[in-house]
Chain A
């Protein structure tokens, strides 16, 4: 590190490219009192499943868990809006003492009576894990009674970190999938996209132009019926690996659907991904059409990107996002804009993702796992970052430090995927990095002293 960190337990989670040989420590529980930016297991499960539009998402627990996650994603639907409600059994003290099982059964009955959903996800929260309500049995009984899918999600907040929630969500999805005996050529599933601001629709239009059918998106704008047909696809493409890597592996194992990793963030990744999809399908026609699409869109977009790029010379970026996939793409995307990433970290990145990150960044770049505000502040300041990419909690910190900021969170309302997303990204970098507002800040004492 060169300088001692205040909390020594955190040292292994921070490395500097080129200065340390040992791999970064990751995928571990957060250290008490370190103000982690991570949420919990329930959160991980909820964010993956929530975009399933016709599902009733019922949180079995006290009210807070449902309050804080009510419609938190910018996921869009082409059909049902049921997913945008926050349903909770709103457990009270007497339920905690005497058990919440009966209340849960009654809650499911009530939801079925009011909305007739085909699918209900029942999320377990911390206290349900402690008081021991038998979620599996209750859901099974309700499913039989109402002849619908009632799927328990084992997401008690304390049973791991956010990644455990991703896995719980994937397990829940796997319960929905059914072997159909049909395999459709040139039909693919898109894993790890949540249709934020219509991003899945943007990618669907590219694939359609290539003559490829987008079968099911996991889970952006998906429905219970659509998800059941997922096993018909001939290929899975996976964007957010943190949340769906496990699902992709399972689908390969159980339904023999191979998968490839893709990214539609930035010009280079978008073009590479479209080519890889055509190649993985062995579809030469699609490959030819992809080249036409890439050429046309690049010609249209590149001048716009170049115009912005000229404004960014010498500027440095910092990145702190949820997962490794996004972090990796952002390094490349900033390079397209002529910027270097000088600090990069994730909440739930995996070992191989950190290896990729390490191979991509320049010497001297600080890499952090499960960072906290104090570390972000310290390293952004030390590395001289001009801009931070992050989520809602990181935004005010960046602004308080006088640093530009890009929202790359799941409640954003503008697409960052594909060609239109690349332009939005460049424009957003421009709108924050080149804002006149920074001219008015006092220029002295930038460093942290307290």
Chain B
């Protein structure tokens, strides 16, 4: 294993990541009755809304302080406060998340102070403000997501009496995945606070009348009490301590933290179940045992086809980590494992698992698709696993893309993809296996004819 960084290059060519506030918006969309305002120029909020909207097929309203030249030169305090006033008039939110952009950070805007002053000016009015400095050059959407989640806790969580609801902090997974995790917890009769929970805010049933704000999402009341939980389970192996919401709860309130991989794959899901049982003392119900058995059965059924797989995996570090391990346990060789995030953790964490791999695994952090494609083609990858931004691997390098993660912009139902738990893992594995089968079966007749008959005659 070698870790290659793209830092020696001066051009990022086809980015494998987006920017911090994007992740911040998603985290905030998982809190009940929450509106988001981006402090910066108008384009940032519009671009991010467009991407989020297209992935989830949901209206996504995000305010902007719409900084113009004047605000940039003299400071944007007035714009931001006007933005807060206006979103409150139209949306009447319980919480407003204020995120900064590159511009606001570069001109040195202190949103913490603005928020405090705003609350003082509105003395007595019921509104919670969450501030998170998320400069676009400070990290990718993955870091923005966890950091904003941490800021939500910093701003809202209070010291609470001990109770029996565990905290479960999830990374940026699909609404279907979040719902699956809740189903598992409910089957095990575990009381929990799942945070942030955008499963119902970003995948809403059709209802009349239309509501601008949704009451779904993690309840403020529950967030306030996350300090009194018996334990925090955080699906965030790759998260740096400074960004980690679970670490914040541990350090500030002494809540024991279990950092776990996303429950995708047999081992990762087993680990999730083990810790759930350990923390709550609950047993694994028969139905989940059965699901595990079915997954194992399915893994056996498809193992030979999976052995054909040479995968390029890319996306947010947390997802890539779980998917790489899922590939490894199914005999799919991960030729390239890549993330746009600048993180050393992915390589460190995967090290013990790839040592035994039959061939080298290229791990790339802070990278882009020019590099991913180069290594993927050189290693003769035959399947790519990641979000829609990898579509060029399909178009230009002929590597079929299995879509998973965020954003999925060129297919329907990206937000409905189920990949966690035993059942989700089976669904994910089937998607991979069938793609590999397709690659084998489609050209079968002509390939054999060309290889053997033509040669022989």
- Listed in ascending order, the chain A residues whose CB lies under 8 Å from chain B are 6-7, 9, 29-43, 58, 61-70, 85-93, 95-96, 103, 106-107, 109-111, 125-127, 129-131, 157-161, 372-374, 377, 391-393, 395-397, 399-402, 441-442, 444-450
- Give the residue among A107, A161, A396 with the most B Cβ atoms within 10 A: A396
Q: B89 is contacted by which of A7, A85, A126 (Cβ under 8 Å)?
A: A7
Cβ of B47 within 8 Å of any chain A Cβ, yes or no, is yes
Assembly CA distance A61 to B59 (angstroms): 28
Q: B86 is contacted by which of A33, A85, A95, A127 (Cβ under 8 Å)?
A: A33
Please, which residues of chain A bring their CB within 8 A of the CB of B19?
A: 62-64, 67
Cβ of B188 within 8 Å of any chain A Cβ, yes or no, is no
A421 to chain B, nearest CB (A): 22
Please, which residues of chain B bring their CB within 8 A of the CB of A39?
A: 42-43, 46-47
Please, which residues of chain B bring their CB within 8 A of the CB of A441?
A: 206, 208
Q: Is the CB of B47 within 8 A of A110?
A: no
Interface size class of B (residues with CB under 8 A): 35 or more
Q: Is the CB of A6 within 8 A of B11?
A: no
Interface-located stretch among B99-107, B151-159, B321-329: B99-107
Please, which residues of chain B bring their CB within 8 A of the CB of A62?
A: 19, 102, 135-137
Q: Which of B365-418 contact A (CB under 8 A)?
A: 389
Please, which residues of chain A bring their CB within 8 A of the CB of B44?
A: 40, 64, 157
User: What secondary structure prevails in chain A residues at the interface with B?
Assistant: loop
Q: Is the CB of B10 within 8 A of A89?
A: yes
Assembly CA distance A446 to B206 (angstroms): 12
Assembly CA distance A125 to B47 (angstroms): 14
Interface-located stretch among B168-176, B210-218, B242-250: B210-218
Cross-chain pairs A/B with CB under 8 angstroms, 15 sampled: A30-B64, A31-B86, A32-B63, A33-B86, A40-B42, A62-B135, A67-B389, A93-B135, A109-B10, A110-B9, A127-B103, A392-B54, A393-B50, A393-B60, A400-B210
With A36-B64, A85-B14 given, name 18 new contacts (CB 8 A): A7-B90, A32-B80, A32-B82, A63-B140, A64-B18, A64-B21, A64-B136, A65-B136, A68-B51, A70-B15, A85-B13, A88-B12, A107-B11, A110-B11, A130-B72, A158-B41, A377-B210, A393-B49
The 8 closest A-B pairs by CB, nearest first: A40-B43, A33-B86, A33-B83, A64-B19, A90-B12, A68-B47, A32-B83, A157-B41
Q: Is the CB of B211 within 8 A of A450?
A: yes
B13 to chain A, nearest CB (A): 6
Please, which residues of chain A bring their CB within 8 A of the CB of B56?
A: 396
Please, which residues of chain B bring their CB within 8 A of the CB of A61?
A: 102
Please, which residues of chain A bring their CB within 8 A of the CB of B66?
A: 29-34, 36
Q: Mark B21-53, 1 if CB is under 8 A from A, else 0.
A: 110000000000000010011111111111101
Please, which residues of chain A bring their CB within 8 A of the CB of B340?
A: 63
The closest CB in chain A to the CB of B81 belongs to: A32
B202 to chain A, nearest CB (A): 10
Q: Is the CB of A63 within 8 A of B89?
A: no
Assembly CA distance A351 to B240 (angstroms): 52
Please, which residues of chain A bring their CB within 8 A of the CB of B71?
A: 158
Assembly CA distance A157 to B106 (angstroms): 13
Please, which residues of chain A bring their CB within 8 A of the CB of B210?
A: 377, 400-401, 448, 450
